[in-house]
Amino acid sequence: MPDVSTLGRTDSWEGVRAVVAGFGTSGAAAVDNLLHLGASVHAVAESVSPRILERAELLEVLGARIEVHEGATATLPEEADVLVVSPGFRPDAPIIVAARERGIPVWGEVELAWRLRDPENPAPWLCITGTNGKTTTVQMLDSILRAAGLRSVAAGNVGLPLTEAVMDPEPYDVIAVELSSFQLHYTDSMSAESAAVLNVAEDHLDWYDSMDDYARDKGRIYTNVQRACVYNAADPATEELVREADVVEGARAIGFTLGTPAVGMLGVVEDILVDRAFIEERSTSAAELCTLDDLASTAPHFVANALAAAALARAHGISQSAVRDGLRSFRPDGHRIAVVAEHDDITWVDDSKATNPHAAASSLAAFEPVVWVAGGLAKGAAFDDLVTAVGGRLRAAVLIGRDRSVIAQALSRHAPDVPVIEVDTPETGALGELDLMRRVVAAAAEVAQPGDTVLLAPGCASMDQFADYAARGDAFAAAVQDHVRG
């Protein structure tokens, strides 16, 4: 049996017994491409849905053995030479513990993809992680790269699975890669051309034992970076991760800031995004990239995302005009600081994608005064820092979801004068998503005053009462439209 640690895209994988744990989009892509390479594949997954069963049926026809049922991932199959795990598996999951004990390599789909790059046309990876803003930033970056005439794709934690991107018969010129901390945990050999950590804030403490562990996984993105480690000057934790990183000799640390940039940074001067890092005379001048009016939003976190995307693009050699054109044409996906309606001098905004306190704080900082709609699954996060920072902006708070009491208690401690309305609802599924949001909108409308913004920035995950954050945002938008129509 060949040593799997030496195998790549052009090698024969015949005889390799690969186990794939998890059968979502990335897991299915891993199964498909391992079969293509000649490996014997045994996939196991717990979650059953029509889409997963359809994938299983197709891949079984191609030769994979698929087990999808409760308990399927509880044990590691006896015949295993490598385990490819989906990001949701904690390091203490029994199947991973068993693999470690048996000396079997444990890879994520990102690690597999890195090993399967075309040695003759290895498209460079421009990688992005962070607690918040990853998807927007990677899509901004992809827009810039396309504006420069490159064949680019957004892949990884958003868009195309990375194994599909690297195995595409027509090679990409460059890949804009979004990576979660979970994905980075199971990635060892990657060497990004450039990488950015946008921010590090409290999140996923139901998965990690500590914030240090979480930050450490975020910092893995900088390991072996070749050109530029991009960090957020407003978030010292990101700069510290750069300082600790083991990079390729010659790689530069590039900061971005919403203020005037120092030499070697990108920033904002008089409503203009400028570059003082990737120009010859950076000690005495700056290159204009675009204006704030060129962006789809001037919310501070949106501008910061644009600067990070620009930094990665400039590190790749992209021109000022292509950065401008890419940012000017970019429009964010739904449920990201999206104005739903303006009625009776009240603005209704859907930022359902703000699923943790840091994201909610960034959203709240863009508006004042605010009727804040929040709550859901807090995932172990606290809200004291958020309320301390933005309590003065709040007209009122309308709280929903299982962990709404966590937010209510933080408001009681740090902003006791802010009225709190708790929309008490039956257990999940007992009340329709739209009916729930109609109650929320009615409560918000009662306290909102002319000039206010009613902002859905939950600071929590959605799965206690909604299918996902998009369903939550859709229900909010529909309820607002019903309210506006009267």
Q: Which residues line the annotated binding site for ATP?
A: 130-136
> What does the radius of gyration of the chain's CA atoms come to, in whole angstroms?
23
| Annotated binding residues | 130-136
CA torsion sign, 69 to 74 to 75 to 80?
positive
The tokens of 48 are what? 């059953």
Report CA 406 to chain centroid distance, whole Å: 24
Which of 125, 150, 101, 109 lies closest to 26, judged by CA? 109
CA torsion sign, 464 to 468 to 473 to 474?
negative
H helix count then E strand count, the chain: 16, 20
CA 401-402-404 angle, 5° bins: 65
**Rounded to the nearest 5°, which phi and psi values hold at 43?**
-105, 140
Cis peptide before 369 (omega within 30 of 0): yes
Alpha helices, DSSP H, located in 38-133: 50-61, 94-101, 109-115
Residue keyed to tokens 């709404």:
404
Helix 320-329 and helix 134-147: axis angle, to 10°? 120
